[in-house]
Structure formats: C-alpha cells, structure tokens
Structure 1
C-alpha cells in the first residue's frame, strides 16, 4: 500500500505547480526591468567601445612578448608529478564540496519559488464560489462514472453480464 500512497501524494502535491508559478512571476518581474537596462546599455556603448579598443591594444602588446613567456613557463613547470597529483586531488574534492553546496542552494531556490508561486496562485484564485482542490480539503476525489452505454446499464444487468462472462460454456 505504500506505493499507492506515494503515487497519491505525488499527484496531489501542489509544490511543483507553485514553483512553476513562482518562476513565471519572477521572470515577469525581471522582464519588466529590461527596457530600462537596454537604455542604460545604449548610453554606455561608447564607453564600452573605448575600453574594448584599449584592451585590444594591450593584448597586441602582450602577444609580442608571448613566445618568451611561454618558454619561461615551460621551464618553470614542476618536475614532481606527485605534487601535481595531490593538487589535482585537492581540486577534485573542492569541486565535490562545491557541487553539494550548489545542490543545497538549488533546493532552497526551488522551495522559495514554490512559496512565491503559492502566493501568486492564492492571489489570483477567485475566493467566491470556487471549490478547493480535494487535496487541500483532505478528501479523496470522487470516482469517475463510465460514459456511454455502460453508464445507462443498470447495476443488476452489469452483475449478470459479469457472471455470464465468468462461467465457461459447458455445451457439448
């Protein structure tokens, strides 16, 4: 029975919907800021062009002395591979810790978006004459009645038909 409980919980949990609504609300909020940022970027374009030109000149000057610097760096490489292995292992462990940290932040962000979405959904949901979802009321959803000929057929005929189909034909 725990599998069916898990399935019911999964199907009635509104958290993913709230997270989606929260993400949409956040995206809408950020998109409203775009026109102002575009205007600011247009105003700063000239300054950015001047900076880019200066950086290009610096890069060209660095390229002139690059072969000597590369030769110097190659001769300065550590000869001890054991030290390089230890540094690589330390780096890998740091990255694992970083990945765990990012996973925790992702979960926190998901929860924050779900809360934001819940607020958005609650604000936009009409309060009068609307029934609450069954999950919020603690009720089980009503069973769906069959449509068509099966719905019009009385229960006595249904049970008789079921008995007929389960009894093997004994005519020889």
Structure 2
C-alpha cells in the first residue's frame, strides 16, 4: 500500500502538466510551418487536377483488373504451396510472439523517453511563459530534480499578480 508521502508526491508532481505543455509547444512550432505547406499545395493543385482529368477511366479499369488477376494468381500459388506442418507453424508463431514482446518493450522505452523529453521541453516553455530563465536549477532538500520527478509544489502554484 502506498504511503501518504508517496501519494502526496504523485498528486503534486507537475511532470504530466509539463509533458502537455511540451506537446503544445511542439504543436505550435509545427503549426508555424503550415502556411508554407498550404502555399505549396495550392501551387501543385492545378497540375494534379489536370492529371486526374486527363486520366482515361478505361485504362485505370484495365490496370486494376490486371493487378487483381496477378494478385489472385499469387494468392493461389501461395495457398497451394502452404506447408501444413503444424510443428513448423507453431515454431513460427512462437518466434513471432517473442519478436512482438521485444517490440512492445522497445516501444515502451521509446514512449517513456518521449514523455520525458516533452516534460523537459514543457518545463522550459512554462518557464519562458512565466518570464523565468530556463537555466535556473531549483534544488529541493539538497537534490536536483530528476527527469521523472520534475518540479515541486512551488512549481504548481499559480503565478502571483
């Protein structure tokens, strides 16, 4: 069972808020690139529309029909050559399962790293929004903040006006 101190730390931990602020800051940065992308799309649109208008529907239908026939032939070939050896299929399933577990673990680590990066970015953004300098290091009880434990209760207090 969690102690009162553990619960208090979890409740006042501003890291999730910093992660949200970091994501918002990143989104704002990406939105600044949107006008250039929109201008490029507007410039390319007439050429793309003309290409669609110039396309012969019969040619497209023939090409799709040929691709469907080729796909059907490949599928028939694969099904006829399907190995019915249960032991081999079981081993393949086990290998794929182990690979999947490894990938899930890798993605979990990446997600945690991304979360920490967004929290650090958000902390800097919040400090900038508050008008503080970003290279100030606060110390609490003689320790600096660890990436997973950003901030203190003082950081969550609203700014004084």
TM-score interval for Structure 1 and Structure 2 normalised by the shorter chain = 0.5 to 0.7
The corresponding residue for 1:16 is 16
Measure how far apart 1:67 and its partner are.
4.1
- Please list every run of at least 4 consecutive aligned residues from structure 1 whose deviation after the TM superposition is greater than 6 angstroms: 53-56
- Which ranges in structure 2 are unaligned for 5 or more consecutive residues? 133-150
Normalised by the size of structure 1, how large is the TM-score?
0.63
- Offset from partner CA, 1:106-142 (integer Å, 9 cap, x none): 0000100000011011111145xxxxx97349xxx9x
- Greater Rg over alpha carbons, structure: 1
Q: For 2:68, which of 37, 60, 63 is the aligned residue?
A: 63
Measure how far apart 1:15 and its partner are.
1.1
| SS of equivalent to 2:76 | helix
65 and 102 in structure 1: CA distance in 2 versus 1, 3 angstrom threshold: closer
The corresponding residue for 1:78 is 83
Q: Distance in 2 between the 1:96 and 1:109 partners?
A: 20
Normalised by the size of structure 2, how large is the TM-score?
0.67
The corresponding residue for 2:3 is 3
Does 1:124 find its partner at 2:125? no
Q: Distance in 2 between the 1:20 and 1:49 partners?
A: 43
Measure how far apart 1:17 and its partner are.
1.4
| SS of equivalent to 1:78 | coil
The corresponding residue for 1:160 is none
Q: Distance in 2 between the 1:78 and 1:47 partners?
A: 46
The corresponding residue for 2:111 is 106
Aligned length: 133
- Which ranges in structure 1 are unaligned for 5 or more consecutive residues? 128-132, 142-172
Alignment of 1:27-42 (within 5 A): 27-42=27-42
119 and 84 in structure 1: CA distance in 2 versus 1, 3 angstrom threshold: same
The corresponding residue for 1:168 is none
- Offset from partner CA, 1:39-58 (integer Å, 9 cap, x none): 3234445459859x688754
| SS of equivalent to 2:88 | helix
Q: Distance in 2 between the 1:20 and 1:42 partners?
A: 33
